[in-house]
Amino acid sequence: MKLAYWMYAGPAHIGTLRVASSFKNVHAIMHAPLGDDYFNVMRSMLERERDFTAATASIVDRHVLARGSQERVVDNILRKDKEEHPDLVILTPTCTSSILQEDLQNFVNRASIISDSDVIFADVDHYQVNEIQAADRTLEQVVRYYLDRCHRQEKWHQFLTDAPSVNIIGIFTLGFHNQHDCRELRRLLRDLDIEINKIIPEGGSVEDLKNLPKAWFNLIPYREVGLMTAMYLNKEYGMPYISTAPMGAVDMAEWIRQIQKNVNTFTLISSNKRVDYEPYIDGQTRFVSQAAWFSRSIDCQNLTGKETVVFGDATHAASITKILVREMGIRVSCVGTYCKHDAEWFKEQIQGLCDEILITDDHTEVGDMIAHMEPSAIFGTQMERHIGKRLDIPCGVISAPVHIQNFPLGYRPFLGYEGTNQIADLIYNSFALGMEDHLLDIFGGHDTKEIISKSLSTDIGLIWNPESRLELSKIPRFAREKVEKNTEKFARQKGIETITVEVMYAAKEAL
């Protein structure tokens, strides 16, 4: 048992639901008590999703505790099958239902015999894995299920596409800027003359999964989700994969070179033309992306040696650290991640780039560290943004967990060359703007701080009696001034001199 106020990664079933609802025409059923379908709210609100989220609960209530789910789960699966005709139904346990130890796999087996849809049981243990790991596993499980079946049915044509092509694995719902990143990757690959075979899970259809092996290789933009699938495809079908995140100019170049290497390996076999992307990298880095020029411009000089702290998921925290240190000359005092399961990789990535490494999923530890370091800026999650607010340190949000404002309508990729521009803006704007900061130091701050907004009305001889004063003080601060003004206006109109609690509420009614 531990005391917890906040967590970076959610429970396992959220990961499964995110994968399920990213696919087209896949329905997820949670074996869960009332109220556990909060995922639907998040998807509807944060992503501003226009469609009903294809996730429902098979409710666990008192009766289920006493007698077991019996027919209920199977009925719910069959009902969804009839109502919505999904290609696939994924049954997922929640932490509550996983301790009931009902044989959900058995329900799945029974339902799959009767239903037209495929039915699988999300094989994730709630007490072993978190949201991110569960998403990774579920994606692999779905892919494996369809490829295995295809194998069994011998509908197998393992021909590679004629032109170089890739799968992009790991773009999905409620991911940090995933939609924008996906668009940016499409654009990049088009520039490189590479076809996109499949993008999964977002918008993908499970029936198409059998075509995954037709691509030449796989791209895993974020290592948190998709790596397991890539490893599976590599083992079973010999598909190479690139797990570098194309974030920041240096890693972008590295990523494109890896693509080049992979493309050229296959072209040797199919005797196509070899590709050379070096001119493209050079042109993009120097002229399309503004980031390289920006970090050389004099404005950026002010950032030299400023201290920062970085915290987030493994992919984003590592990439942003590299950008800060290698591309902008900013000092990173401490960098950390909450992806404890990927700590080894993380440490290796940022070796030599920072003074300290913090691997934790306890936000108070992160808060203490930040308070101790007193950096000029923080790059972290929504939690770090709030820590920053408390300590009066600016913060740029670079990683999930996220808030509605991290689902911008405008185009804001973190990956690709446009991503380098966006990141440069984010970093620059997070520091108190260079020259302004400097001038403030010299001239001792703004002179506008002390303006006190006295409303004119308070000195016209109205008396608030002690009770009404107290009542007024209980009104939330943001509304208090308005209530005060309205009440006084009302009192003046009525010729009342002493304001009592009654007068306050009469004023409210009269409004």
DSSP track, 176-222: TTHHHHHHHHHHHHHHTT-EEEEEEETT-BGGGGGGGGGSSEEE-SS
Select from 186, 394, 475, 486 the one that contacts another protein (CB under 8 A). 475
Q: Closest approach of Cβ 378 to another protein, in Å? A: 14
Using alpha carbons, select from 321, 344, 296 the residue that is nearest to residue 399. 321
61 is catalytic: no
- Is 61 an interacting residue with respect to another protein (CB under 8 A)? yes
Least separation in angstroms between CB 136 and another protein: 17
Q: Smaller CB distance to another protein: residue 92 or 422?
A: 92
Q: CB 20 → another protein: shortest distance, Å?
A: 16
Of the listed 116, 299, 355, 368, which one is catalytic?
Answer: 299
Residue 94 interacts with another protein (CB under 8 A): yes or no = yes
Site string for another protein, 99-138 (x = CB under 8 A): xx-------------------------xxx-x--------
Query: Which listed residue (24, 87, 96, 110) binds another protein by CB under 8 A?
Result: 96
**Numbered residues of the known binding site for substrate:** 434-435
Asked if residues 209 and 143 have their Cβ atoms less than 8 Å apart, the reply is yes
On whether the CB atoms of residues 278 and 284 are closer than 8 A, the answer is no
Give the C-alpha separation, 431 to 424, whole Å. Answer: 11
- The tokens describing 466, both together, are 């002690």
Q: Please, which residue, 10 or 213, has the CB nearer to another protein?
A: 10
Residue 471 CB, shortest distance to another protein, in Å, is 6
Return binding residues for [4Fe-4S] cluster: 36
What's the closest the beta carbon of residue 119 comes to another protein, in angstroms?
A: 18
Distance from C-alpha of 461 to C-alpha of 499, rounded to nearest angstrom: 11
Residues 321, 128: Cα–Cα separation, whole Å: 29
* Encoded tokens for 321: 């650290």
Segment near another protein (CB under 8 A); pick from 2-10, 238-246, 313-321, 445-453: 2-10
In the list 17, 20, 28, 59, the residue contacting another protein (rule: CB under 8 A) is: 59
The nearer residue to another protein, 59 or 263, going by C-beta atoms, is: 59
Cβ–Cβ under 8 Å, residues 172 and 18 = yes
* Residues flagged as binding site: 36, 434-435
Using rule CB under 8 A, residue 402 touches another protein: no
Please select the residue that binds another protein; options are 196, 353, 359, 501, rule is CB under 8 A: 501
CA distances from 479 to 405, 473, 482 (A): 25, 10, 5
> Interface with another protein includes 223 (CB under 8 A)?
no
Nearer to another protein (CB atom), residue 34 or residue 460:
34
Lookup result for tokens 């791209």: 219
DSSP annotation of 375 reads: -
Structural tokens at position 405: 């404002």
Give me 225's structure tokens.
């989700």
The two beta strands, 165-171 and 217-219, are parallel
Residue 173 one-letter amino acid: T
Under rule CB under 8 A, which residues in 17-56 are in contact with another protein?
32-38, 40-42, 44-45, 48-53, 56
In the complex, minimum distance from the CB of residue 219 to another protein, in angstroms, rounded to a whole number:
28
What is the C-alpha separation between 158 and 162, in angstroms, rounded?
A: 12
Give DSSP secondary structure letters for 353-371: TEEEEEE-S-HHHHHHHHH
For the window 455-474, what string marks contact with another protein as x by the rule CB under 8 A?
Answer: ----------------x--x
Binder to another protein among 163, 435, 439, 510 (CB under 8 A)? 510
Distance CA 168, CA 284 (A): 22
Closest C-alpha among 83, 22, 79 to residue 206? 22
Q: Which residues bind another protein (CB under 8 A)?
A: 1-7, 10-11, 13-14, 32-38, 40-42, 44-45, 48-53, 56-62, 65, 76, 83, 94-96, 99-100, 126-128, 130, 383, 386, 389, 403, 471, 474-475, 501-502, 505, 508-511
Give the residue numbers marked as catalytic.
299
